[in-house]
A and B are shown apart, each in its own frame.
Chain A
Amino acid sequence: MSGAIALQAPDASILARRSTIISDLEDLLPAGTLVSSERELKPFETDGFIAYRRMPLAVALPRTTEEVAAILKYCAKYKIPVIPRGAGTSLSGGAIPQEDAIVIALTRMSRILEIDYPNRVARVQAGVTNLAISDAVSADGFFYAPDPSSQLACTIGGNIGMNSGGAHCLKYGVTTNNLLGVKMVLFDGTVIELGGKALDSAGYDLLGLVCGSEGQLGIVTEATVRLIAKPEGQRPVLFGFETSEGASACVTDVIAAGLIPVAIEFMDKPAIEICEAFAHAGYPLDVEALLIVEVEGSDAEMDAMLKSIIEIARRHGVKTVKECQSATEAALIWKGRKSAFGATGRIADYICMDGTVPLSQLTNVLRGTGDIVARYGLRVANVFHAGDGNMHPLILYNINDPEESRKAEDAGNDILKLCVDVGGCLTGEHGVGIEKRDLMPHQYSKADLDQQMAVRAAFDPGWLLNPSKVFPLEGRKR
Chain B
Amino acid sequence: MTLTFEPETEADVAAMIADAAREGRALAICGGNTRAGFGQAVEGAAFSTRRLRGIVAYNPAEMTITAKAGTPVAEIEAELADNSQMMAFEPVDHRMMMGTEGVPTIGGIFATNSSGPRRFVAGAARDGLLGVRFVNGEGEVIKSGGRVMKNVTGLDLVKLLAGSYGTLGVLTEVTFKVLPVPRAEKTVVVSGLNDAEAQMAMSAAMATSCEVSGAAHLPESVRWLFGKNGLPPGPATLLRLEGLPESVEDRAKRLTPFMERHGAVSLLEPRESQQLWREVRDVTAFSDDGSHKPLWRISCAPTAGHQLLAALRLQTGVNAFFDWQGGLVWMQMEGDAEAEMIRAYLKRLGGGHATLVRARPEIRARLQSFQPLDAGVDQLSKAVRLKLDPKGVLNPGRMG
CB of B217 within 8 Å of the partner chain: no
| B387 and A455 contact, CB distance less than 8 A | yes
| A428 and B148 contact, CB distance less than 8 A | yes
Q: Which positions 161-217 of chain B face chain A at CB distance < 8 Å?
A: 162-164, 168, 179-181, 183, 199-200, 203, 206-209, 211
CB distance from B153 to the nearest CB of A (A): 5
Q: Which of these, B155, B158, B159, B385, contacts A456 with CB under 8 Å?
A: B155
| B211 and A193 contact, CB distance less than 8 A | no
| B156 and A432 contact, CB distance less than 8 A | no
Q: Which of these, B180, B370, B377, contacts A260 with CB under 8 Å?
A: B180
Q: Which 6 A-B pairs have the closest CB atoms?
A: A208-B159, A258-B180, A197-B301, A202-B371, A428-B150, A256-B61
- Interface stretch (choices B3-11, B312-320, B332-340, B349-357): B349-357
CB of A103 within 8 Å of the partner chain: no
A192-B380, A202-B370, A203-B399 known; A455 and B300 CB under 8 Å?
no
| B157 and A451 contact, CB distance less than 8 A | yes
CB distance from B359 to the nearest CB of A (A): 18
Instruction: Provide the A200-234 mask, 1 if CB < 8 A to any CB of B, else 0.
Output: 11111111110111001000000000000111100
| A358 and B142 contact, CB distance less than 8 A | no
| B148 and A356 contact, CB distance less than 8 A | yes
Q: Which residues of B contact A205 (CB under 8 A)?
A: 113, 126, 159-160, 162-164
CB of B287 within 8 Å of the partner chain: no
A186-B380, A198-B327, A213-B155 known; A301 and B123 CB under 8 Å?
no
Instruction: Please give the number of chain B residues whose Cβ is less than 8 angstroms from any Cβ of chain A in the complex.
Output: 91
CB of B62 within 8 Å of the partner chain: yes
Q: Which of these, A212, A359, A449, contacts B156 with CB under 8 Å?
A: A212
CB of B59 within 8 Å of the partner chain: yes
CB of A413 within 8 Å of the partner chain: no
- Interface stretch (choices A80-88, A115-123, A400-408): A115-123
| A163 and B377 contact, CB distance less than 8 A | no
CB of B1 within 8 Å of the partner chain: no
CB of A388 within 8 Å of the partner chain: yes
Q: Which of these, A119, A169, A358, contacts B303 with CB under 8 Å?
A: A119
| B207 and A390 contact, CB distance less than 8 A | no
A120-B206, A209-B160 known; A199 and B152 CB under 8 Å?
no
| A356 and B151 contact, CB distance less than 8 A | yes
CB of A153 within 8 Å of the partner chain: no
Task: A120-B302, A173-B127, A385-B150 are known; give 17 further A-B pairs, CB within 8 A.
Answer: A118-B302, A177-B123, A198-B353, A199-B327, A205-B126, A206-B160, A207-B159, A298-B209, A358-B62, A359-B62, A388-B149, A389-B149, A427-B152, A428-B148, A428-B152, A455-B384, A471-B154
29 sampled A-B residue pairs with Cβ under 8 A: A119-B203, A163-B156, A176-B159, A196-B350, A198-B301, A198-B351, A200-B299, A203-B378, A204-B168, A204-B399, A206-B160, A208-B156, A211-B156, A213-B156, A230-B209, A255-B61, A258-B181, A258-B183, A298-B254, A300-B246, A301-B243, A301-B247, A359-B63, A388-B148, A389-B148, A440-B153, A448-B142, A452-B157, A459-B380
Interface residues of B (CB under 8 A from A): 59-64, 84-85, 113, 119-120, 123-124, 126-127, 136, 140-144, 146-160, 162-164, 168, 179-181, 183, 199-200, 203, 206-209, 211, 243-244, 246-247, 249-251, 254, 299-304, 324-325, 327-328, 350-353, 370-374, 376-378, 380-381, 383-388, 399
Q: Which of these, A163, A203, A424, contacts B148 with CB under 8 Å?
A: A424
B346 to chain A: closest residue by CB: A198
Q: Which residues of B contact A162 (CB under 8 A)?
A: 152
CB distance from A339 to the nearest CB of B (A): 22
| A458 and B243 contact, CB distance less than 8 A | no
| A447 and B141 contact, CB distance less than 8 A | yes
B351 to chain A: closest residue by CB: A196
| A118 and B159 contact, CB distance less than 8 A | no
CB distance from A363 to the nearest CB of B (A): 13
A119-B302, A429-B150 known; A448 and B144 CB under 8 Å?
yes
In the complex, what distance in Å separates the CA atom of A300 from the CA atom of B254?
A: 12
A470 to chain B: closest residue by CB: B154
Q: Which residues of B contact A428 (CB under 8 A)?
A: 148, 150-152
A118-B203, A428-B150 known; A455 and B159 CB under 8 Å?
no
CB of A190 within 8 Å of the partner chain: yes
CB of A15 within 8 Å of the partner chain: no
A198-B353, A204-B168 known; A301 and B152 CB under 8 Å?
no
Q: Which of these, B84, B154, B299, contacts A440 with CB under 8 Å?
A: B154
In the complex, what distance in Å separates the CA atom of A255 from the CA atom of B163?
A: 29
| B353 and A206 contact, CB distance less than 8 A | no
Q: Which positions 98-121 of chain A face chain B at CB distance < 8 Å?
A: 116-121
| B164 and A165 contact, CB distance less than 8 A | no
Q: Which positions 443-457 of chain A face chain B at CB distance < 8 Å?
A: 443-445, 447-449, 451-452, 454-457
| A199 and B324 contact, CB distance less than 8 A | yes
Q: Which residues of A contact B157 (CB under 8 A)?
A: 209, 451-452, 455
In the complex, what distance in Å separates the CA atom of A177 from the CA atom of B209?
A: 20
CB distance from B212 to the nearest CB of A (A): 9
| B154 and A388 contact, CB distance less than 8 A | no
| B203 and A117 contact, CB distance less than 8 A | yes
CB distance from B105 to the nearest CB of A (A): 20
CB of A35 within 8 Å of the partner chain: no
CB of A426 within 8 Å of the partner chain: yes
Q: Which residues of B contact A194 (CB under 8 A)?
A: 377
Most B CB contacts (10 A, CB to CB) among A117, A199, A204 go to A204
Q: Which residues of A contact B385 (CB under 8 A)?
A: 204
CB distance from A352 to the nearest CB of B (A): 14
CB of A377 within 8 Å of the partner chain: no
Q: Which residues of B contact A449 (CB under 8 A)?
A: 154
Q: Which residues of B contact A230 (CB under 8 A)?
A: 209
| A197 and B370 contact, CB distance less than 8 A | no
A304 to chain B: closest residue by CB: B246
Q: Which of these, A173, A301, A458, contacts B384 with CB under 8 Å?
A: A458
Q: Which residues of B contact A256 (CB under 8 A)?
A: 60-61
Q: Which residues of A contact B85 (CB under 8 A)?
A: 258
Q: Which residues of B contact A304 (CB under 8 A)?
A: 244, 246-247
Most A CB contacts (10 A, CB to CB) among B59, B140, B380 go to B380
Instruction: Provide the A348-380 mask, 1 if CB < 8 A to any CB of B, else 0.
Output: 000000001111100000000000000000000
| A451 and B148 contact, CB distance less than 8 A | no
| B211 and A297 contact, CB distance less than 8 A | yes
In the complex, what distance in Å separates the CA atom of A229 from the CA atom of B381?
A: 35
Q: Which of these, B140, B250, B381, contacts A300 with CB under 8 Å?
A: B250
CB distance from B397 to the nearest CB of A (A): 14
| A423 and B61 contact, CB distance less than 8 A | no
In the complex, what distance in Å separates the CA atom of A343 from the CA atom of B201?
A: 47
CB of A239 within 8 Å of the partner chain: no
| A447 and B142 contact, CB distance less than 8 A | yes
Q: Which residues of B contact A118 (CB under 8 A)?
A: 199-200, 203, 302-303
Q: Which residues of B contact A430 (CB under 8 A)?
A: 152
CB distance from B384 to the nearest CB of A (A): 5
| A358 and B147 contact, CB distance less than 8 A | yes
CB distance from A13 to the nearest CB of B (A): 28
Q: Which residues of A contact B387 (CB under 8 A)?
A: 451, 454-455, 457-458
Q: Which of these, A177, A197, A216, A260, contacts B350 with CB under 8 Å?
A: A197
CB distance from A285 to the nearest CB of B (A): 30
A192-B376, A202-B373, A258-B180 known; A252 and B61 CB under 8 Å?
yes
CB distance from B13 to the nearest CB of A (A): 14
